[in-house]
Structure 1
Amino acid sequence: MIKLSQAAADEIQRLKSKQKQPNLLFRLAVKPGGCSGWFYDMSFNDEQALTDRDRVFTSKDIQVVLDAETLEHAKGLAIEYSEDLMGGGFRFYNPQAETVCGCGNSFSVNSEQ
């Protein structure tokens, strides 16, 4: 479902370790807004906060939580992480995106899907 590159998984694990809470899961959400209509939001949630609308997938030993709406817009999503001279960041490659904003974090989808 969601594919993390090894670099993305390593960065998520690094960020998670800074939280000092062992039961945190990586949550990816797609929310209305941004330059193109939808944007990606990443956070950590305690596993006890999961609801019946959440789905948990594992990629590169990272448990990724998505709610039902995010699941609809993120099928086949690949997340990579890279660092360059301008800084590091996550990159999202969404096969459902019709257009992607220059920032790479905002996208639009076909409303007929």
Structure 2
Amino acid sequence: MIEISKAAIAEIHRMQTVRARPESKFRVSFGNGGCEKFYYTIDLADSIAETDRVYEVDGISVLIDGQHLGYLEHLKLDYSEDLMGGGFRFENPLATTVCGCGNSFSIEHVESERWQLPT
């Protein structure tokens, strides 16, 4: 289960409204690259894939691909605005290293072999 702050929930609702997609789901994932080995990705999705796990958080359907779940299941997601601009902030207790920007991370291992890293 991931944790999403009230500020992040409000920003997700704003994104859904601005993009005229109020029924969309919020996908959290990661890919290869960034300063560390992986970088976080977020997007609105209109459908649920067969491998997705769905979490309901304060009226938001959050999608995480089952193959990524072991790397994101304890993620804390926040949203804040500051002088450098606004954005989502990620806190992943499973990350072994994190880039200074907070959007790139690496993980040494995950307990279960069923979790696969993206290629």
Aligned to 2:38: 38
Which secondary structure state, in structure 2, belongs to the residue aligned with residue 34 of structure 1? Answer: coil
- Which runs of 5 or more residues in structure 2 are unaligned? 112-119
Aligned to 2:12: 12
Q: Which amino acid in structure 1 is aligned with residue 107 of structure 2?
A: V
> Does 2:102 align with 1:104?
yes
Q: Which amino acid in structure 2 is aligned with residue 43 of structure 1?
A: D
Residue 90 of structure 1, CA deviation: 0.8
Aligned counterpart in structure 2 of residue 55 of structure 1, from 46, 53, 57: 53
> Does 2:101 align with 1:67?
no
- Which runs of 5 or more residues in structure 1 are unaligned? none
Q: Which has the higher helix share?
A: 1
Aligned to 2:85: 87
Which secondary structure state, in structure 2, belongs to the residue aligned with residue 56 of structure 1? Answer: strand
Give the conservation status (yes or no) of the 8 Å contact 1:5–1:60: no
**After TM superposition, where is structure 1 displaced by more than 3 Å over at least 4 residues in a row?**
none
Whole-angstrom CA distance in 2 between matches of 1:23 and 1:8: 17
Whole-angstrom CA distance in 1 between matches of 2:83 and 2:75: 26
TM-score (norm 1): 0.91
Change in CA separation of 1:84 and 1:19 when aligned onto 2, cut-off 3 Å: same
Q: Which has the higher strand share?
A: 1
Which secondary structure state, in structure 2, belongs to the residue aligned with residue 7 of structure 1? Answer: helix
Cα deviation code 1:15-42 (max 9, x no counterpart): 1111112321111111121111111111
Whole-angstrom CA distance in 1 between matches of 2:73 and 2:57: 14
Q: Which amino acid in structure 2 is aligned with residue 11 of structure 1?
A: E
Query: Percentage identity across aligned positions?
Result: 44
Residue 112 of structure 1, CA deviation: 5.8
Give the conservation status (yes or no) of the 8 Å contact 1:97–1:109: yes
